[in-house]
Amino acid sequence: MPLFLKQKVMAFELIKLPYAAEALEPAISAQTIGFHYGKHLQTYVNNLNNLIPGTKFENANLETIVKESDGGIFNNAGQILNHNLYFTQFSPNGGGTPSGKLAAAIDATWGSFADFQTAFETAGTGLFGSGWVWLAAGKDGKLSISKESNAGNPLTQGLTPLLTFDVWEHAYYLDYQNRRADHLKALWKIVDWKIVETRY
């Protein structure tokens, strides 16, 4: 399953979702998928394709652009990468808990999966304005939770992004209005931990 957008004739494309628009209900409604994926993400793709011709990034992959760019190119590339990771980590058969090395690392860092969930939700609800909350891993495998505003991604700090919850209002307002905390709690029910574990 691709995590990042493909390049075709120097143009990025909207990823295909690995599930139907209504498959994540009630955690995420088909209406939200329609706007969030179909409108917002498509706009970031279109914007990036319009910004990179004639720059050093016109033949670069998405990760390179995120690591090395700034301004409008970074904002749009970052949002594409973030949304790709976000949408591909979910499944209608998701939920439960991680296993294997990731589960052991979470327990070692936070004491238990439940304590990790609490810390993750606290970070997400506490982020002022728009952005993302991340579970990321260092080169040594050490885990951390980070809050990134706007299009931020732990990749720019040399970390590997594993799991992310979107706290831009367009990610949840149609379903939860201003109840960001309820949105965050609901997402655990659709996380596909097998996908997240492959990133670790």
State pLDDT tens for residues 165-178: 999 999 999 999 99
Give the integer Cα–Cα distance in Å for 191 and 91.
Answer: 6
Task: Check if the beta carbon of residue 166 is closer than 8 Å to that of residue 86.
Answer: yes
* Greater pLDDT, 4 or 98: 98
Hey, what amino acid is at 124? G
SS3 labels along 86-147: HHHCECCCCCCCCCHHHHHHHHHHHCCHHHHHHHHHHHHHHCCCCEEEEEEECCCCCEEEEE
CATH 1.10.287.990 given to domain 29-88: yes
Mean pLDDT of the chain: 94
Q: Give yes or no for residue 6 having a pLDDT over 60.
A: no
Amino acid occupying residue 82:
N
- pLDDT bin (cut points 50, 70, 90) of residue 11 is confident
- CATH class of this structure's domain 100-198: alpha beta
Which of the four pLDDT bands, split at 50, 70 and 90, describes residue 108? very high
What percentage of the chain carries pLDDT values higher than 90? Answer: 94
Reported as a pLDDT band with limits 50, 70 and 90, residue 181 is very high
Could you tell me where in the chain the CATH 1.10.287.990 domains are found? 29-88
CB atoms within 10 A of CB 8: 8
Pairing, β 160-166 against β 131-137: antiparallel
Residue 9: the pLDDT is 43
Distance CA 70, CA 75 (A): 7
- State the span(s) of the chain assigned CATH 3.55.40.20: 100-198
